[in-house]
């Protein structure tokens, strides 16, 4: 049961082989049994989940149901959920019960999905290892001594261990794709504006984008289809039609041109991972795709540009957390200044404080033009590089991360080394393009992810290419040792 595809689970529900209540109990039992060592779930939603499952069973019985009706899932704890704690992995919001539900969550619930709970994450989505969470680090089910990636590491670890068939994530600089690679699952970040950001607690508003994390590209397509669409409550939401993400998923890749950026195959990339990506590219060639080397001349500037833009935006967004209206409030403040200082000092962790201070610095008088404005100019150059590349190719392929999952604690005290974990993913966010990661093998018994990047609003093509690769390989079906058993 735990390794069935979403379509298979849906078919079992519609054939009455199992009820949504039973299926929800099944995955809640898996969470109870296995998550003690993974720490991938922050809050369990048992009572509300079972009520939603009962309603899903009624919809299935009435014939008014779809593929997601009755399917359990987890949400990254950055999405507001009415009546259920939304912590963002931070002490600042440890006591915050959201008064409304994020649009992406609401859309999935309207499609019949059952929310089992909220997944652990790096605090305020700031991290690449899921070690900055107030609730403790998440562990990678493939090797408990390694990190699952971040910031959506809880979602990735839970799907990898089959604690839920699906999980939502957010991606600001690689936070869906990098943990998907480290945990051996499929994760997709759509074009900026494709999924509503309403109710998704902001880190960097011009970069953040919600997406889907699942076992396979087909499962991710079904989830993303339900999440996507225009939302008048989000000024950054696009009204461009989503289309049917599944209609062409079985189409051939014959004649498609896949671009390989030479800048992504340099000395930053582990040699064994390079071999796995080259093997994946050979699989595409055997299916009739063409391969072409391309260049993204300014992509090596993406990390420094990102770590100016993102902290600048986070320093503005997180200023709302002041101990006054909601969130953590210090005890017995002497005055307003003391309230602000101690509430923020106690509520935020070290990485969040580091980025707030970086952001405040680059936006300060005398430094705005030298740093923030320059970073935005570089961002435009990176976007133009991608646009030019897509005049020659249909999809761009690379490694998702320069290494496999690294040891817990290895980079915690070296922020720059940690930031470089996202060296292949950040440019996609700066340009606002869709990108995804799919499993493509193992190095030292740890998963390797291949990144696929598409042109604006071409999520359907990306999912088609990923799905066709998964018809040729079975890496996405692998389950970590110890979790390949029924609860």
Q: For 38, which DSSP code?
A: H
Side-chain half-sphere CA neighbours of 379 within 13 A: 22
> How far, in Å, are 95, 112, 122, 130, 248 from residue 165 at the CA level?
28, 14, 21, 20, 23
**Which of 152, 44, 132, 38 is closest to 91 using CA atoms?**
132
For residues 434 and 177, is the Cβ–Cβ distance under 8 A? no
Spatial separation of the C-alpha atoms in residues 406 and 50, rounded to whole Å: 37
319 catalytic? Reply is no
Angle, helices 459-472/217-227, rounded to nearest 10 degrees: 160
286 catalytic? Reply is no
Selected catalytic residue, list 76, 107, 139, 276: 76
Selected catalytic residue, list 24, 152, 155, 175: 175
Strands 114-119 and 186-189: unpaired
- 3-state SS, one letter per residue, for 257-297: EEEEEHHHHCCCCCHHHHHHHHHHHHHHHHCCCEEEEECCC
151 catalytic? Reply is yes
What phi-psi label fits residue 322: left (phi over 0), alpha (psi between -120 and 50 degrees) or beta?
alpha
| The residue count for the chain | 487
What phi-psi label fits residue 63: left (phi over 0), alpha (psi between -120 and 50 degrees) or beta?
left
Give burial (CB, 10 Å; 0-12/13-18/19+) of 59.
middle
Spatial separation of the C-alpha atoms in residues 133 and 38, rounded to whole Å: 13
Spatial separation of the C-alpha atoms in residues 176 and 111, rounded to whole Å: 22
Selected catalytic residue, list 151, 155, 315, 403: 151
Q: Which residues are catalytic?
A: 76, 151, 175
């Amino acid at each position: 049961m735990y390794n069935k595809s979403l379509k298979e689970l849906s078919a079992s529900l519609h054939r009455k082989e199992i009820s949504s209540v039973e299926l929800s109990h099944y995955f809640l039992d898996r969470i109870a049994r296995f998550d003690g060592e993974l720490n991938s779930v922050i809050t369990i939603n048992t009572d509300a989940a079972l009520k939603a499952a009962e309603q899903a069973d009624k919809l299935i019985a009435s014939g008014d149901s779809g593929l997601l009706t009755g399917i359990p899932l987890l949400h990254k704890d950055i999405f507001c959920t009415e009546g259920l704690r939304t912590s963002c992995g931070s002490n600042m919001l440890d006591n915050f019960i959201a008064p409304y539900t994020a649009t992406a969550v609401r859309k999935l619930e309207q499609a019949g999905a059952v929310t089992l709970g909220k997944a652990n994450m790096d605090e305020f989505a700031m991290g690449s290892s899921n070690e900055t969470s107030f609730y403790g680090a998440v562990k990678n089910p493939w090797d408990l001594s390694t990190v699952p990636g971040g910031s959506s590491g809880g979602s990735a670890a839970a799907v990898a261990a089959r604690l839920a068939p699906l999980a939502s994530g957010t991606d600001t600089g690689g936070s869906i794709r990098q943990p998907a690679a480290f945990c051996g699952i499929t994760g997709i970040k759509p074009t900026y504006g494709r999924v509503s950001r309403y109710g998704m607690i902001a880190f960097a508003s011009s970069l953040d984008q919600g997406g889907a994390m699942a076992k396979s590209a087909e499962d991710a397509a079904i989830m993303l289809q339900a999440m996507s669409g225009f939302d008048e409550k989000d000024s950054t939401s696009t009204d461009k039609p989503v289309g049917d993400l599944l209609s062409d998923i079985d189409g051939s890749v014959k004649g498609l041109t896949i671009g390989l950026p030479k800048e992504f195959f340099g000395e930053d990339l582990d040699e064994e991972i390079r071999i796995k990506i080259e093997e994946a590219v050979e699989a595409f060639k055997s299916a009739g795709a063409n391969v072409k080397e391309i260049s993204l001349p300014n992509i090596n500037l993406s990390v420094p540009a990102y770590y100016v833009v993102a902290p600048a935006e986070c320093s503005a967004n997180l200023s709302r957390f002041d101990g006054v209206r909601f969130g953590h409030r210090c005890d017995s403040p002497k005055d307003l200044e003391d309230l602000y200082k101690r509430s923020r000092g106690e509520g935020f962790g070290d990485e969040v404080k580091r980025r707030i201070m970086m952001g405040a610095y680059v936006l300060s008088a005398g430094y705005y033009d030298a740093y923030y404005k320059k970073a935005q100019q570089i961002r435009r150059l990176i976007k133009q590089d991608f646009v030019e590349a897509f005049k020659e190719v249909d999809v761009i392929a690379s490694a998702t991360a320069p290494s496999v999952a690294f040891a817990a604690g290895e980079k915690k005290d070296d922020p720059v080394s940690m930031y470089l974990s996202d060296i292949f993913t950040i440019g996609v966010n700066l340009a606002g393009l869709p990108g995804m990661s799919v499993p493509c093998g193992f190095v030292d018994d740890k998963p390797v992810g291949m990144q696929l990047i598409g042109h604006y609003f071409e999520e359907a093509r990306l999912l088609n290419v990923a799905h066709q690769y998964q018809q040729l390989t079975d890496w996405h079906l692998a389950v970590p040792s110890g979790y390949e058993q029924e609860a």
